[in-house]
Amino acid sequence: MKKSILILTFLYFLSQTFSQLCVKTYNLSEHPEITSAHMNITVLEIAPNHDIWFNLYQSTSLSLGFGKFTGEEWTSFYAGTDLTKLHTAVYAIAIDKHDSVWVGTESGLAQFDGSSPTGWEIFKTPTLTSNKVTALKVDRNNIKWIGLGNGDIMTLENNIWTLYDSIGPENNRIPLQGQINEIDTAKDGSIWVAKNGTPGVVKYKEGNWTTFSQFKDARYITSDQYGRTFVTSGDSMMVIIGDQIVNTIRADTSLDATLFDVEVGPNGGVWVSSNKGLLVKVGDTFRRYNKSNSAIPDLFSPIPLEFDADGNLWFSYYYKISATNYPGIGYLYRSPNTATPITITNQPAPAFCYGDSIVLDANVAADTYVWSDGTTSQTTTIYDNAEVTLAYEGTNNCYFYDTLNVIAQHVFEDEKPCVVTVSADGQNLIVWEKTPEVGTASYNIYREVATDVYNFKANVPVGNLSVYRDQDADPRKKSYKYKISSVDTCGNESGQSFFHKTMHLTINLGLDTTEVNLIWQNYEGFYFPYYIIFRGTSPDNLVAIDSIPWDNTTLTYTDYGIIGRHYYRVGVILPFTCFPTEGKKADSGPYSHSMSNMEDNRLQDTGTSAVEPLTWEIRSYPNPFNYWTQIDFENSLKYPYELKVTDMSGKLVKMIGDIRDNKVVFLRDNLPQGFYMFELKGDRVYRGKFVIK
């Protein structure tokens, strides 16, 4: 019989209601001042006075120059202008601190006042090393950065031209080969460049160039007010902080999207144009807006993006009249109206037991509904974990949006014993660490009664200490195998864990009565390097006297010259110290050994152990983390250490060698979310685990 699902506190914060997202569009065919049939708009630039500048480009035929939109008037810069002294294919537009407009074309560079059709200042070879001007940027010092088709970068400052055709130290210069595609300025004044070839990204700061050979043929690059730089390539967007790639965000493979321009809004929202619509960064993924769930029309490829001073996101698009394509420009903006929240019709909260379902209702009458699962009716039914998004059409080219995270509780399948051992009073203990916030209500304990046959022993509520004492077993007679399972609040039980087996020790005397022979059965459940032999004149004063390799085939040991009564136990060291719970309750640990019959497990608490553990458990910080975590460890003598990181399957995913400091910073790079184990190995061995979220 199923119980009610445990509603965790974080579930109440999973709904995200968005304001209305609206679109304003301008079809260029409606403005005869602009000749636009068959053209694309691949460049957008917004001037400080709010004028919108754009090109009119056609790769397979004659381009038609560029234009300006003041919000009321349209102006074409094509026939009858000094553009005819250059070329009608325009690749870049920039506005400097004196409101001069700079235009990069297929055949030279122009500067003019933004209104006069003639009287432009023209720059071509030999002033430029190439007439093809593909990128323009004006930095905070009013220096003009000019990217050329031959890979050179030039600057113009106070009528002084500077050429950058190679980078690197004087004795090892590397030619800047490959067309310059985009230039941007960062908050710290550095200049970022996206270019063809390898390296695909270079940075200039205070006279020094930095190359990023991880990139090839980078087309778009953007730096924001928070010190981040974004680069798009294929279906991915890389985030750079300083000189480190700290995150890679990929579009959902089902979209088959190619990413283009990136823009960061005044409030930090990251938008990306693509061949499948506009994408907004949400955590480590993208949410898509296109004509199926918004008023955004069909988009060109590639699509330029630009935020204006009011936080509106401008973009280009196309539409058809008969069979002819025409371009347009438009912008996204938010209205103060909010969406009606999604309602749940058959559950008390957005959480349910897996195997059931939850019915969601848009709770509003609309002409168009678009749910993230493809449903287009007012309601949808969800059967598993999902981030459910809803878009429904309002008026005036506006759509409302709401998001609800739905939790389908699955029983936790990965709980397992960390050790089985014999207590000081001679009873078997099964010990495990609880995994929090996974909906577990209790744990079942199983003991082997025949080969591979396990019978139920007990149920331990989740609120109890995660140590079970088996009072029916007699560890003086034999060893025992145990498994555990989880039972969730819905009443569903997980599969049984892998077994752990206790050690059973027997003793006999040799031919000489001063010889004591120890024979024991092996421990099973985790790897350990050796068995430790403990001896004492009473059960309370055992000390380690020797160790035997784990692969000793006989599992025997002979102690010589023993006079009088002595007590023995065999122990093994756990790979990680086991913490069943916090507190000072009896048998609550922490546990660092498994012990055979005849003595206490908590030798590490009495200070009587003569054998130092092989491993130390350490932690990293922050943990969990998104981009990086730091691991601190004792290494005062600067021994060389090697860091190995493995995923939960044991696969090695990253290795760093020759670490001689007492700390190491681990960068996530492209590792996916999940649990990972790490090991630092040198003159000691440190182990730990972290979570990438």
Q: Residue 255: helix, strand or coil by DSSP? A: helix
Name all domains of the chain by residue range, CATH numbers in brackets. 9-16+339-409 (2.60.40), 415-613 (2.60.40.10), 616-692 (2.60.40.1930)
Q: Give the pLDDT confidence of 240-251 residue by residue, as tens digits.
A: 999 999 999 998
Of 226, 241, 328, 233, nearest in space to 272 by CA: 233
Q: pLDDT exceeding 70 applies to what percent of the chain?
A: 93
pTM of the model: 0.63
Band of residue 280 on the pLDDT scale cut at 50, 70, 90: very high
The backbone torsions φ and ψ at residue 82, rounded to the nearest 5 degrees and listed phi first, read -70, 0
User: Which amino acid is present at 297?
Assistant: P
Write down the pLDDT at residue 291.
87
Write down the pLDDT at residue 509.
84
Please give the Cα distance from 290 to 277 (Å, whole number). 5
Write down the pLDDT at residue 6.
46
Q: What is the mean pLDDT of residues 86-105?
A: 97
Cβ burial of 327 (10 Å; 0-12, 13-18, 19+) is buried
Average pLDDT value over all residues in the chain: 88
Band of residue 19 on the pLDDT scale cut at 50, 70, 90: low
Examine the pLDDT at 585 and tell me if it is beyond 80. Answer: no
Q: How many CB atoms lie within 10 A of CB 604?
A: 16
Examine the pLDDT at 316 and tell me if it is beyond 70. Answer: yes
Determine the Cα angle at 393 with ends 298 and 350, to 5°: 115
Handedness of CA 578, 571, 603, 686 (dihedral sign): negative
588: CB partners within 8 A, 6+ apart: 465, 467, 580, 581
Q: Give the pLDDT confidence of 348-380 residue by residue, as tens digits.
A: 888 888 889 999 999 998 889 999 898 999 999
Name the residue with higher pLDDT: 12 or 141: 141
Please give the Cα distance from 271 to 265 (Å, whole number). 8
Cis before residue 199, ω within 30 degrees of 0? yes
Examine the pLDDT at 603 and tell me if it is beyond 60. Answer: no
Q: How many CB atoms lie within 10 A of CB 413?
A: 12
Write down the pLDDT at residue 169.
73
Name the residue with higher pLDDT: 359 or 600: 359
Cβ atoms of 204 and 186 within 8 Å: the answer is no
One DSSP character per residue, 468-495 reads EEETT--TTT---EEEEEEEETTS-BPP
Band of residue 588 on the pLDDT scale cut at 50, 70, 90: low
Determine the Cα angle at 351 with ends 349 and 357, to 5°: 105
User: 454 - beta bridge partners?
Assistant: 448
Examine the pLDDT at 301 and tell me if it is beyond 90. Answer: no
137: CB partners within 8 A, 6+ apart: 94, 144, 145, 183, 184, 185, 191
Q: What is the mean pLDDT of residues 275-290?
A: 89
Band of residue 615 on the pLDDT scale cut at 50, 70, 90: low
Among the ranges 201-205, 339-343, 610-614, 616-620, which has the highest mean pLDDT value? 201-205
**CA contacts within 13 A on the Cβ side of 178:** 19
Strands 591-595 and 543-549, bridge-based pairing? unpaired
Strands 259-264 and 244-250, bridge-based pairing? unpaired
Examine the pLDDT at 601 and tell me if it is beyond 50. Answer: no
Q: What is the mean pLDDT of residues 576-601?
A: 69
Please give the Cα distance from 253 to 96 (Å, whole number). 40
Provide the CA 218 distance to its chain's centre, in angstroms: 22
Provide the CA 612 distance to its chain's centre, in angstroms: 38
Examine the pLDDT at 415 and tell me if it is beyond 90. Answer: yes
Q: What is the mean pLDDT of residues 27-56?
A: 94
One DSSP character per residue, 273-334 reads EETTEEEEEETTEEEEESTTTSS-----SS--EEE-TTS-EEEEEEEEETTEEEEEEEEEEE
Write down the pLDDT at residue 349.
85
Determine the Cα angle at 76 with ends 72 and 77, to 5°: 135
Write down the pLDDT at residue 589.
63
Examine the pLDDT at 237 and tell me if it is beyond 90. Answer: yes
Band of residue 340 on the pLDDT scale cut at 50, 70, 90: confident
Q: Give the pLDDT confidence of 664-678 residue by residue, as tens digits.
A: 999 999 999 988 889
**Which parts of 362-397 are beta strand (E)?**
369-371, 379-382, 386-393
Q: Minimum mean pLDDT among 574-583, 597-606, 645-654: which range?
A: 597-606
One DSSP character per residue, 18-70 reads EEEEEEEEEEGGG-TTS--TT-B---EEE-TT--EEEE-B-SSS----EEEE-
**CA contacts within 13 A on the Cβ side of 513:** 3
User: 676 - beta bridge partners?
Assistant: 647, 690
Band of residue 587 on the pLDDT scale cut at 50, 70, 90: very low
Examine the pLDDT at 309 and tell me if it is beyond 70. Answer: yes
Please give the Cα distance from 412 to 405 (Å, whole number). 19
Please give the Cα distance from 633 to 168 (Å, whole number). 37
Write down the pLDDT at residue 612.
40
Band of residue 598 on the pLDDT scale cut at 50, 70, 90: confident
The backbone torsions φ and ψ at residue 603, rounded to the nearest 5 degrees and listed phi first, read -65, -30
Please give the Cα distance from 693 to 688 (Å, whole number). 17
Please give the Cα distance from 336 to 600 (Å, whole number). 68
Please give the Cα distance from 498 to 452 (Å, whole number). 11
Examine the pLDDT at 600 and tell me if it is beyond 60. Answer: no
Name the residue with higher pLDDT: 70 or 396: 70
- Whose structure tokens read 């399957």? 649
Token couple for 108: 């030279």
306 dihedral zone (left: phi>0; alpha: psi -120 to 50; beta): beta
Examine the pLDDT at 523 and tell me if it is beyond 80. Answer: yes
CA distances in angstroms from 279 to 166, 270, 291, listed in the order given: 36, 8, 12
Burial 161-192 (b: 16+ CB within 10 A, else e): eeebeebeeeeeeeebebbbbbbbbbeeebbb
Examine the pLDDT at 417 and tell me if it is beyond 70. Answer: yes
Examine the pLDDT at 485 and tell me if it is beyond 60. Answer: yes
Q: Give the pLDDT confidence of 175-232 residue by residue, as tens digits.
A: 888 999 999 999 999 999 999 999 999 999 998 999 999 999 999 999 999 999 999 9
Band of residue 132 on the pLDDT scale cut at 50, 70, 90: very high
Q: What is the mean pLDDT of residues 501-521?
A: 89
Name the residue with higher pLDDT: 530 or 563: 530
275: CB partners within 8 A, 6+ apart: 257, 258, 260, 299, 301
Strands 398-409 and 351-353, bridge-based pairing? parallel
Q: pLDDT exceeding 90 applies to what percent of the chain?
A: 64
Write down the pLDDT at residue 667.
93
Band of residue 18 on the pLDDT scale cut at 50, 70, 90: low
Q: What is the mean pLDDT of residues 2-19?
A: 41
Please give the Cα distance from 535 to 104 (Å, whole number). 86
Token couple for 409: 């509780």
Write down the pLDDT at residue 112.
97
